[in-house]
Chains A and B, each alone.
Chain A
C-alpha cells in the first residue's frame, strides 16, 4: 500500500486515477487541482509518492513539473511520477536534471500509459521504490535519432534494445525477462554498452541518467 498525493486539474481524469489507485489498494491522501495545493498537500501528508500532471493552473504551463522539482528540493528523495501529455524530451530532461542526484525515484510517463493499467502501476511501484522510469516512447524518440551518433552506431541491435530498456529504467532482471534471455547475458550486454559509450557502470538511477544524458547529447537546451 502506497500513500499517494495526486495532482491533476482535469476532474474526470483525477477521479479516474483516484478510483484506479484505490481499487488496487493504494491510499490517495489528497487529490488536488493546482500546483499550490499540491505543495501544501505534500507538506502536510508526507506521501510515499507524488503523481502529478505537467500542465496545471493557474498558468497552464509547466507548473506541475516545476512544483514537483521544488518539492524534491524541499523533501530530498521524495519519489515523483510525472504524467505528461507531451513526448517532448525537454520535460523529461528538466525533471531528471533537476534533482535525480539526491536519490529517490523519478518517473516521466505519457498520460496514455495509465490506460495500460498494469504498466502504470508497475511504474508507480518502481518510482516509489526509488527507481527511475522514463516512458518508452520518449526513449524511442531519443534513441532513434541518435543512431547517426558514432559511439551508438557501434552497438549491436541487441545492445541497442538493452540500452532502450535500460533508459526506461528497467533493472537487469527485468530486462532479461522482457527480452527472454538470461540475466547473465544482460550483464554482458550492459558491460559492452558502458564500454562502447564510455560510461561508468553505476547504480540504477545514475545509469539511466548517464544513458539519457548521452542520448540527448549536446542538443540539450
Chain B
C-alpha cells in the first residue's frame, strides 16, 4: 500500500516543508483531532446512556447506535482522506437486498466491514486523538514562539515572560524564541507528514473493501458482463436463424429450380444445359459454405440434442481422431452448454493446428453442480495461455460464468485443458 504523503517526504525530503503538503497535512490532522474528540464523547455518551437504559429497552437502541457509529465516521473519513490522498478507498459495503430499514440494518450487521469501521472509529477516538493533541500542542507552541516578537510589540508596555520571572524587554530580544519556534514548525512539518501518512495507512487498511467482499461496483460489473454475454448469445442465435430461414432456404429453392431446368433441358441438345449444370453446382457450393458458417455461429444440434451430441458431431468432422466420453445426467443451462461447446471446439482446433496431435480425448462429467470437461491431446505441447488470443478468449468466456480454465502443456506434451463451469445459474 503506497501512501502519497510518505512518498512525497521520501522523494524530496528537503523540499517537503515548503510544499503544499504541509498545510493539507496540518488541516487533516487538526480536523482529525477535533473529529476524534467528538467521536470519543459521542461514543462514550451512547455506551454510558445505553448501559444505564438497557433494562428499559431503549438503551439497547443506543448501544446499537454506538455499534454502528463506525458507519458515518468511516464515510466522513473516506471523504476527508481526499485532502491528503489522491485515491481514497471505495466503500466496502454492498447494496442491501431491499430498500427498507430492517434489510439495511441486517445487511450492515452481517458485514465484517462494519466492524472494521467501528474498530477504526475507536482508534480514531483514542490513539489518533492523543497523538493529534500532542501534535496540536507542538504546532501551537511553535507558532507562539515564532510570533513572540510580534506579541511583545503588540502587548507593550505589558511584559511578556517566556521563562517565568524573566521578562522579555523588547521585540528584538525575542528573536531567539522565534528561531526555536521556526525549528518547531520545521519539526511539525515533517511530523505532520509522517502522522498524516500513518493515519492514511490505517484508514486504508481498515476502511477499504477486502478481496472477499465484492463491493457494489464489482457485482455490478459482473452482472453487466453477464448481460452482455447473454445479449451476444441471443444475437448469435438470431443471426443463425435468419441465415437458416432466409438465405439457406432461398439457395435451396434456387438449386431446386436449376435442377428442374436441368431436367427440362435433358435430351435437348441445348447449349444452355452445361450452364445450368454449372449454376447448380455453384449454388451447391454456396450452400455448403453457408452451412459451415451457420454451424460455426450456433449449431442447431446443440440446441436440440445437447452437449454430448454436439461435441460428437464436431468430433466426427475433425481431421484428428477424437474420442468423446461425455456423460451427463441431464441437460445443462443453455449458457453453460454453449460456452462448453465452443471451448471444446476451440481446443480441438488448437490440437489439430498447433499441437500436431494424432489423438484427442474429450471427457465430460457433472460433479455436484460443476461441469468438468477435459480435452487431452498427444501433441507436442508447449501451449501458452498468455501467448495466443484463443486460450485467453476461452478463459474470458468461462470467467463470465464463474468458470475456470486450466492448461497444462509441458514441452513435448501432452496438452491437457481442464474446464470447470458451475451450472447453478
Contact = CB atoms under 8 A, between A and B. Distances in A.
Interface of A: 9-10, 12-13, 16-17, 19-20, 23, 55, 60-62, 85-91, 94, 111-112, 114-118, 120, 141-142, 145, 148, 219-221
A11 to B, nearest CB: 9
A12 B312 contact: no
Question: A-B pairs with the 6 shortest C-beta distances?
Answer: A115-B255, A10-B249, A221-B309, A117-B259, A88-B301, A221-B308
B313 A90 contact: yes
A90 B260 contact: no
A13 B253 contact: yes
Give the size range of B's interface with the partner.
35 or more
A55 B256 contact: no
15 contacts: A10-B252, A12-B253, A19-B260, A20-B260, A55-B300, A60-B245, A62-B300, A85-B300, A86-B300, A86-B301, A90-B301, A91-B301, A112-B252, A145-B318, A221-B305
B312 A90 contact: yes
A62 B299 CA distance: 13
A145 B303 contact: no
Contacts of B134: none
Contacts of A219: 312, 315-316, 324
A85 B255 contact: no
Contacts of A116: 259, 280
Contacts of B255: 112, 114-115
Secondary structure class of chain A's binding surface, majority of residues? helix
Contacts of A112: 252, 255, 284, 287-288
B258 interface: yes
B321 interface: yes
Given A88-B299, A114-B252, A115-B259, 10 more contacts: A16-B253, A16-B256, A19-B260, A90-B309, A111-B252, A115-B280, A142-B316, A145-B316, A219-B316, A221-B308
A10 B248 CA distance: 10
Interface string B310-354: 101101111001001000000000000000000000000000000
A112 B251 CA distance: 9
A55 B244 contact: yes
Given A10-B245, A112-B284, A87 B291 contact: yes
B254 to A, nearest CB: 8
B300 A115 contact: no
Nearest to A144: B316
A121 to B, nearest CB: 9
B222 interface: no
A70 B249 CA distance: 25
B304 interface: yes
A117 B257 CA distance: 9
Interface string B286-303: 011001001100011101
B325 to A, nearest CB: 9
Nearest to B281: A115
- Most A CB atoms within 10 A — which of B244, B259, B280? B259
A114 B256 contact: yes
Contact of B260 (A10, A62, A117): A117
Given A19-B260, A112-B284, A219-B312, A62 B304 contact: yes
Contacts of A120: 259
Contacts of B248: 85, 111
A91 B304 CA distance: 9
B251 to A, nearest CB: 8
Contacts of A141: 316-317
A62 B304 CA distance: 7
A145 B244 contact: no
A215 B244 CA distance: 29
Contact of B284 (A20, A115, A221): A115
A145 B245 contact: no
Nearest to A137: B288
A61 B315 CA distance: 22
Contacts of A9: 245
Contacts of B250: 12
A117 B262 contact: yes
A153 B317 CA distance: 18
Nearest to A220: B312
A115 B291 contact: no
Contact of A20 (B241, B245, B256, B283): B256
Contacts of B309: 88, 90, 221
Contacts of B305: 90, 94, 221
A19 B261 CA distance: 12
B264 to A, nearest CB: 9
B306 interface: yes
Given A20-B256, A86-B300, A219-B312, A118 B249 contact: no
Nearest to B306: A221
A61 B259 CA distance: 28
B129 to A, nearest CB: 70
Contacts of A62: 300, 304
B34 to A, nearest CB: 70
Nearest to B287: A112
Contacts of B253: 10, 12-13, 16
